[in-house]
């Protein structure tokens, strides 16, 4: 609004100035008129003029008639004109010389003028003060729906929410012309001053058709007549700036950008100053940077810089992943220290090194020069080129010189942000250019909790506080007895006094409210120091409070702690976290409003309060429950810290981990491809081919083909796989009961209570959350009870496998688990916690390397009867006889030809006999199912799956070989017997070894009475009688008729030459007798 002017009056000063302007021309003409005759009288010019006339007349008469007539006509026309022009020029010069002298005199002795240019950032502030606080005498008023300076947040908010049809706010300003207008201003002492005002546009700028662009540079002149004292004008400017800045700049930050055409800063917009609590950073990080910057802007620091000869400027580098709040933190820093922000766009091809240096030198005092994403500006150290390939833009060296060159700006803060610090040149981020490096990481658990509180905490403003611990709020607070309440200061509000001292911000109290007052009318509460006293109503622990008007009280919902436990540390950006919580809040609002309806009859305070309470409860619980939507990326494994056991567990080969640990291979980083050959000597299962060994080899080689099953399942995969596996299954528990569950423990479960366990050390007593089924019905769109039951179980499955917001279960483990509990969602849920067993959960016996014994090896091949022969020859472990040949196995193990071939093929890992190696290998879970169905084709698949469950552990490992299982099923009388006799037919190794008895040795045979035995015994060679008897040489005639020589005797096993010679002599002697 324009202030109403006082009654018009024409003071003597104005009348005197107008009279002087009008009389000056008259005085000049009068002076010329009197001076000319006086000059003619003083000087005798007539004789000279007569002589000149005679001479001219004589010359003219001598000319031809036609020429003379033309000349005379010209003279009579041009001479008067020339005379008049000359007299006019003289009069013009005399007039303006007189006016200039008069104006100079008046300016020097009768007026004082002050000039203010639009290049100053407070130019609009002065004009706003003149238009709103002074009485401007002008005939033109500018009306606009846009203010000349930036509107307040509430004014902008009204425009955002009003729509096109709402009446916009009108703003009025006096139209200051290039000729003088004036206004009246009253100072603090009540004296009214008349100040003349004029405006001059320096250089009109080119603007686009849309009207956008930089404003024309302009200047205003403030003048006071009949005074040479500039004190009034100085006081006017001081008052204008103090008044307007106190109203406007307390809560705003001015943001400047480069002028469109001129190398100067122009104010782009004013933003509301962001409080430090509006950003959620790691504890203490914001305080550290704010205190460092505040210390820089102190006189002591400035003097130290000056005395040390160091340029007075400080640089900060904010680096970290995108979406973590680097730019927001820069805005908070500017607001905390009342700094202006100058945005520098170095990608502008029209700006060169000189323009950049000039901009930095012209930066407003106490400002922050902000360069965002500096890693994307320079790829090389050189100037860029425009689209046509012409050189232009800012060079890297130009940027360095502008930041801290000899002519660089001082008294400012330089703020650089980047998402890739490693891409920046060291020269750009060295001390002197970037003195403080601040790493802003992804959200920690504490940040996630505080961000959750920002969205779903209840907040109230203190109206008053009494010494008895009773606080009155400005509106209904909605707090409950036992709620943890955090006190927060807000700018210039009154400090809350607790026990005679100023309470620190973020102090936690505990609320107690009157249960007889309806929540929508509750504005009083008691603040206690402990949760116990709040719940018990103990008066002794009441906080002694006073003041605090305008401060905030905020609840600390317990759901925030549960939400934080489900967020993996440093893996989710703050932007993503904020977007997720905003989505849950909006969805909850839509759901609650759809249920409650929006009829005008229900539009009451109680109804709206209940609507808000329901929305808070639903949004907070769905945000906790649906956190898998936020964690849609798989956590990256920390390869350097993964143990061999956990590494192998992901693909079901963790039973081999103790062997690797025995040989010093304890972490994933210790694995190498060289171990593939070495491990064959540790265990025969690691020697030949097989599914388990193949997966192990892929891990050792780092084969990418196994990544599909090796990778960890994120929370969303756990839930979705559970739903897809059991979609359409019968009611939970029915399948397990139908399968005759025994060992695997599947049985019907009571209705699930899936609300996560709550631990509330603060004693918070939040409103009870909606039932889980109602939450699922609201957030998923599933309406039928069976679908909700399955969805409820899927969320429980997800939560039970969660560990600190992550899961340690691989895709392979998940698939194996669902194979084991196919058609049994209750069993899959009840036993899923076994999937979380990690290296540290192993018992001491499970950490010991178990070496395969000779019995264990032979038993897998069905050759356990030969174990005593091998053990008698000193072969207790398989490694002791793995070098034996086939013949040696026959000799020392007492094996037949076929048994020796089978045993030797496995010992040597003969890949050409894959059929024999397959008999020794351990079957997979799917193999066991197929074995059972091959033996009993009529059996349902559930029986085959249950048989496989009985023979495997939770990871699907079977301790028996394919040959053992097939042999057991082959002799089973039926399906019932196959289940009933498992304990007898497939005993553990220790039990089977104890049940195996050593065969008794046959009694020694009697002494033969054959002639050949008696004949050899007489010469003490009866030891060779068996060799003769084996060849059917028992009588004297048989011996004498046989063609016996040295070769025959050697073939009979008589290897010593002396024995053979003696026997041949005996035969010769017997034949000659």
Report the pLDDT averaged over residues 271-297.
83
pLDDT for the residue 933: 92
pLDDT in tens, 490-506: 655 577 787 778 888 88
pLDDT for the residue 83: 78
pLDDT for the residue 657: 92
Report the pLDDT averaged over residues 809-833.
90
pLDDT for the residue 934: 93
Distances (CA, A) of 428 to 327, 378, 404, 1010: 19, 11, 10, 110
Answer yes or no: is pLDDT of 752 > 60: no
pLDDT for the residue 597: 62
**Residue listed under structure tokens 């203190």:** 462
Instruction: Flag the least confident range among 383-397, 514-528, 700-714.
Output: 383-397
Report the pLDDT averaged over residues 931-948.
92
Distances (CA, A) of 686 to 651, 679, 689, 945: 15, 6, 8, 27
pLDDT for the residue 750: 40
Report the pLDDT averaged over residues 417-444.
89
Q: Provide the pLDDT confidence category of residue 121 given band limits of 50, 70 and 90.
A: low
Handedness of CA 385, 391, 394, 397 (dihedral sign): positive
pLDDT in tens, 240-249: 877 766 655 5
Report the pLDDT averaged over residues 7-33.
56
Q: Could you tell me which residue, 635 or 955, shows the higher pLDDT?
A: 955
Look over the chain and give the mean of its residue pLDDT values, rounded to a whole number. Answer: 79
Which alpha helices (H) appear in 9-64, and where do they start and end? Answer: 12-42, 46-61
Instruction: Flag the least confident range among 97-101, 163-167, 482-486, 870-874.
Output: 163-167
How many other CB atoms sit within 10 Å of the CB of residue 328? Answer: 17
**Exposed e or buried b per residue across 971-1005, where buried means at least 16 C-beta atoms within 10 angstroms of its C-beta:** ebeebeebbeebeebbeebeeeeeeeeeeeeeeee
Answer yes or no: is pLDDT of 6 > 50: no
Report the pLDDT averaged over residues 981-986.
88
Report the pLDDT averaged over residues 437-464.
89
Handedness of CA 868, 871, 876, 882 (dihedral sign): negative
Question: According to the per-residue pLDDT averaged within each range, which of 78-87, 285-294, 369-378 is highest?
Answer: 285-294
Answer yes or no: is pLDDT of 884 > 80: yes
pLDDT for the residue 709: 87
- Residues 179, 128 contacting (CB under 8 angstroms): no
pLDDT for the residue 128: 76
pLDDT for the residue 740: 40
Residue 648: CB partners within 8 Å, gap ≥ 6? 654, 656, 657, 660, 696, 699
CA distance 443 to 451: 9
pLDDT for the residue 147: 60
Answer yes or no: is pLDDT of 388 > 60: no
Q: Provide the pLDDT confidence category of residue 18 given band limits of 50, 70 and 90.
A: low
Phi/psi-derived region of residue 272, left when phi > 0, alpha when psi is between -120 and 50, beta in every other case = beta
Residues forming a β-bridge with 181 = 197
Q: Could you tell me which residue, 145 or 454, shows the higher pLDDT?
A: 454
Distance of alpha carbon 885 from the chain centroid: 63
Q: Could you tell me which residue, 461 or 217, shows the higher pLDDT?
A: 461
Answer yes or no: is pLDDT of 1069 > 50: yes
pLDDT for the residue 1008: 80
pLDDT for the residue 1012: 86
Residue 642: CB partners within 8 Å, gap ≥ 6? 667, 668
The two three-digit tokens of residue 511, written as one number: 């609320």
Q: Could you tell me which residue, 124 or 359, shows the higher pLDDT?
A: 359
**pTM (2 decimals)?**
0.62
In 3D, which of 477, 521, 519, 469 has the Cα closest to residue 497?
Answer: 469
pLDDT in tens, 766-784: 555 566 667 777 666 777 7
Report the pLDDT averaged over residues 837-841.
84
Instruction: Flag the least confident range among 374-378, 423-427, 990-994.
Output: 374-378
Q: Provide the pLDDT confidence category of residue 381 given band limits of 50, 70 and 90.
A: low
Answer yes or no: is pLDDT of 36 > 70: no
How many other CB atoms sit within 10 Å of the CB of residue 946? Answer: 22
Q: Could you tell me which residue, 894 or 249, shows the higher pLDDT?
A: 894
pLDDT for the residue 155: 59
Question: According to the per-residue pLDDT averaged within each range, which of 47-56, 223-232, 585-594, 855-864 is highest?
Answer: 855-864
Phi/psi-derived region of residue 211, left when phi > 0, alpha when psi is between -120 and 50, beta in every other case = left
The pLDDT > 70 percentage for the chain reads 80
Answer yes or no: is pLDDT of 28 > 70: no
Question: According to the per-residue pLDDT averaged within each range, which of 144-148, 197-201, 864-868 is highest?
Answer: 864-868
CA distance 3 to 19: 31
Answer yes or no: is pLDDT of 1071 > 60: yes
∠ CA 129-132-135, nearest 5°, is 100
Residues forming a β-bridge with 508 = 486
């Amino acid at each position: 609004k324009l202030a109403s002017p006082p009654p018009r009056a024409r003071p003597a000063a104005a009348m005197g100035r107008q009279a002087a302007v009008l009389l000056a021309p008259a005085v000049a003409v009068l002076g010329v008129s009197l001076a000319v005759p006086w000059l003619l009288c003083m000087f005798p010019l007539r004789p000279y003029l007569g002589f000149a006339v005679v001479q001219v007349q004589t010359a003219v008469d001598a000319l031809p008639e036609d020429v003379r007539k033309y000349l005379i006509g010209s003279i009579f026309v041009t001479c008067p004109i020339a005379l008049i022009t000359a007299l006019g020029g003289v009069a013009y010069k005399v007039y303006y010389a007189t006016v200039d002298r008069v104006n100079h005199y008046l300016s020097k002795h009768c007026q004082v003028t002050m000039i203010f240019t639009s290049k100053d950032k407070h130019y609009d502030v002065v004009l706003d003060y003149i238009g709103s606080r002074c009485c401007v005498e002008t005939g033109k008023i500018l009306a606009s729906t846009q203010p000349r300076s930036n509107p307040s947040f509430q004014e902008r908010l009204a425009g955002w929410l009003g729509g096109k049809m709402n009446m916009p706010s009108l703003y009025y300003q006096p139209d200051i012309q290039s000729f003088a207008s004036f206004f009246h201003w009253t100072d603090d002492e009540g004296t009214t001053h008349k100040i003349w005002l004029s405006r001059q546009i320096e250089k009109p700028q080119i603007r686009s058709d849309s009207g956008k662009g930089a404003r024309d540079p302009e200047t205003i002149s403030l003048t006071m007549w009949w005074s040479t004292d500039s004190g009034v004008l100085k006081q006017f400017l001081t008052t204008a700036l103090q008044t307007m800045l106190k109203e406007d700049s307390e809560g705003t930050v001015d943001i400047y950008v480069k002028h469109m055409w001129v190398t100067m800063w122009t104010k782009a917009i004013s933003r509301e100053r962001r409080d430090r609590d509006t950003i959620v950073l790691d504890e203490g990080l914001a305080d550290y940077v704010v205190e460092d910057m505040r210390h820089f802007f102190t006189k002591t620091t400035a003097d130290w810089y000056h005395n040390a000869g160091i340029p007075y400027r400080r640089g900060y580098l904010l680096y970290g992943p995108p979406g973590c709040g680097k730019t927001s933190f820069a805005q908070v820093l500017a607001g905390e220290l009342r700094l202006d922000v100058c945005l520098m766009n170095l990608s502008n091809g029209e700006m060169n090194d000189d323009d950049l240096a000039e901009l930095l030198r012209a930066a407003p005092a106490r400002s922050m020069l902000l360069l965002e994403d500096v890693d994307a500006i320079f790829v090389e150290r050189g100037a860029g080129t425009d689209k046509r390939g012409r050189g232009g833009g800012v060079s890297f060296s130009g940027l360095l010189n502008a930041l801290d060159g000899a002519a660089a700006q001082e008294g400012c803060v330089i703020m650089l942000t980047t998402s890739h610090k490693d891409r920046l040149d060291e020269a750009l981020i060295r001390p002197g250019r970037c003195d403080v490096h601040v790493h802003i990481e992804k959200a920690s658990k504490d940040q996630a909790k505080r961000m959750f509180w920002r969205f779903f905490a209840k907040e109230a403003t203190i109206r008053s506080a009494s010494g008895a611990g009773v606080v009155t709020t400005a509106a209904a607070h909605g707090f409950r007895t036992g709620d943890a309440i955090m006190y927060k200061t807000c700018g210039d509000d009154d400090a809350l006094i607790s026990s005679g001292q100023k309470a620190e911000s973020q102090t936690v109290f505990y609320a107690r409210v009157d249960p007889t007052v309806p929540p929508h009318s509750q504005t009083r509460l008691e603040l206690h120091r402990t949760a116990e006293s709040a719940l018990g109503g103990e008066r002794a622990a009441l906080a002694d409070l006073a003041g605090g008007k305008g401060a905030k009280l905020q609840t600390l919902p317990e759901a925030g702690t549960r939400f934080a436990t489900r967020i993996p540390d440093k893996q989710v950006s703050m932007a993503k976290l904020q977007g997720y919580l905003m989505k849950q809040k909006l969805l909850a609002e839509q759901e609650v409003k759809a249920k409650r309806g929006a009829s005008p009859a229900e539009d009451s305070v109680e109804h709206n309060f209940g609507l808000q309470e329901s929305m808070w409860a639903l949004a907070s619980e769905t945000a906790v429950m649906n956190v898998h939507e936020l964690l849609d990326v798989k956590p990256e494994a920390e390869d350097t810290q993964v143990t061999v056991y956990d590494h192998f567990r992901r693909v079901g080969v963790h039973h081999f981990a103790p062997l690797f640990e025995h040989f010093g291979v304890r972490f994933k980083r210790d694995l190498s491809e060289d171990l593939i050959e070495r491990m064959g000597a540790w265990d025969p299962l690691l020697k030949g081919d097989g599914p388990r060994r193949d997966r192990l080899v892929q891990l050792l080689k780092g084969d990418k083909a196994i990544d599909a099953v090796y990778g960890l399942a994120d929370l969303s995969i756990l839930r979705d796989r559970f739903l897809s596996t059991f979609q359409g299954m019968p009611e939970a528990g029915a399948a397990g009961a139908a399968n005759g569950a025994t060992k695997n423990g599947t049985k019907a479960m009571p209705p699930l209570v899936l609300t996560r366990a709550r631990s509330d050390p603060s004693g918070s007593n939040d409103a009870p959350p909606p039932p889980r089924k109602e939450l699922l019905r609201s957030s998923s769109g599933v309406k039928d009870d069976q679908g909700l039951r399955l969805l409820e179980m899927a969320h429980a499955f997800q939560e039970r496998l969660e560990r600190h917001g992550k899961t340690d279960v691989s895709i392979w483990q998940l698939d194996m688990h669902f194979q084991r509990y196919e058609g049994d969602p209750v069993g899959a849920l009840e036993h899923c916690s076994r999937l979380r067993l990690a290296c540290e959960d192993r018992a001491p016996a499970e950490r010991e390397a178990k070496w395969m014994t000779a019995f264990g090896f032979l038993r897998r091949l069905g050759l356990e009867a030969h174990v005593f022969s091998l053990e008698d020859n000193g072969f207790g472990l398989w490694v002791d006889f793995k070098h034996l040949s086939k013949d040696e196995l026959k000799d020392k193990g007492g094996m037949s030809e076929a048994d020796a071939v089978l045993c030797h093929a496995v010992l040597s890992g003969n890949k050409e006999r894959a059929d024999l190696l397959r008999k020794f290998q351990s079957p997979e879970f799917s193999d066991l199912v197929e074995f059972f169905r091959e033996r009993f084709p009529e059996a349902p698949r559930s029986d085959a799956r249950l048989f496989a469950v009985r023979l495997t552990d939770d990871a699907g490992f079977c301790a028996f070989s394919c040959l053992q299982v097939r042999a057991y099923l082959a002799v089973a009388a039926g399906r019932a017997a196959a289940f009933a006799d498992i304990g007898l037919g497939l005993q553990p190794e220790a039990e089977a070894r104890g049940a195996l008895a050593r065969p008794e040795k046959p009694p020694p045979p009697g002494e033969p009475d054959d002639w050949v035995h008696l004949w050899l015994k007489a010469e003490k060679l009866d030891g060779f009688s068996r060799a003769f008897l084996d060849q059917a040489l028992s009588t004297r005639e048989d011996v004498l008729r046989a063609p016996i020589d040295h070769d025959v005797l050697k073939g009979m096993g008589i290897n010593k030459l002396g024995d053979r010679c003696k026997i041949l002599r005996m035969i010769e002697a017997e034949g000659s007798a």
